[in-house]
Amino acid sequence: VASMLVVEDDATIGRALRISLETRGHTATLVTTGDDALRACSDAHVDLVLLDLGLPDIDGVAVCERLRAAHPALLIIILTARDDEIDVVTGLEAGADDFLTKPVRLAELHARLDVHLRRHAGTTAGTTADGTTRITMGGLVVDLARRSAHIDGRDLPLRAKEFDLLLRLAQEPGVAVRRETLMADVWGVRWESSTKTLDVHMAALRRRLTAAGDHTGAVMPLITTLRKHGYRLDPPEPRPGDDS
């Protein structure tokens, strides 16, 4: 059971989404403007926002950016018109965790929500296969129990899905992970449905790792892109003089 906010100015769609969420036992509030969405998220705790990008007052992408800035842990799923790829990429870069195209199929909506909420609660990532709760790669430590990453003891701020991606890759260091597998394991969706989601999040994760390495001087693992196949997280080469 989660607290959800539906931001949708089309009354019919908004109402259908709200009722469907409530039927599944969630608490759902419906608002129709960007202003009301921002207010609702600052007034009360919200776990997840379904955000239509075409709103009457503030542009949905700007709403997404402001929600992300104010609430780092909030799950944001944007709703876009079919085939509107520019909207999708802009929305993901503005901080959305995922997107659904309209008309929203309710079975798909609930399947995705289940995965997002389960991952968010951390119940799928407590330990690795051999029972450890930390993965260390060079200066980077991925803490499964706390769902956080550190570099030389300092927090590396990551969005929820960036952490999930890093964790998934770090669980098989040096092994190529197929795009389909990453989509299924991190977003719970079939590969064909949202390739952009993976690419945008992976680009953001890579930028953060690189920037953190540059900033701290720590040796960092590298994300390697395997064209048309997937990604691989390569442990850093030991520096000359390192004993380990």
> Out of 4, 21, 52, 158, which residue is the one contacting Ca ion (CB under 5 A)?
52
Stretch that binds Ca ion, among 3-11, 43-51, 140-148, 226-234 (CB under 5 A): 3-11
Shortest reach from residue 9's CB to Ca ion, in Å: 5
- What is the spatial distance between Cα 87 and Cα 80, in angstroms, rounded to a whole number? 7
Could you give the CA distance from residue 45 to residue 153 in angstroms, rounded to a whole number? 30
* Structure tokens, 69: 């800035």
Query: Which of 13, 24, 54, 234: binder of Ca ion (CB under 5 A)?
Result: 54
With helix as H, strand as E and coil as C, how does 63-125 read? HHHHHHHHCCCCEEEEEEECCCHHHHHHHHHCCCCEEEEECCCHHHHHHHHHHHHHHHCCCCC
Cβ 103 to Ca ion shortest distance, Å: 13
47 makes contact with Ca ion (CB under 5 A): no
C-beta nearest to Ca ion: residue: 54
In whole angstroms, what is the distance from residue 209 CA to residue 159 CA? Answer: 13
Q: Which is nearer to Ca ion, 9 or 93 (CB)?
A: 9
Minimum distance of Ca ion from residue 104's CB (angstroms):
12
- Nearest approach in angstroms of CB 242 to Ca ion is 55
Q: Which residues bind Ca ion (CB under 5 A)?
A: 9, 52, 54
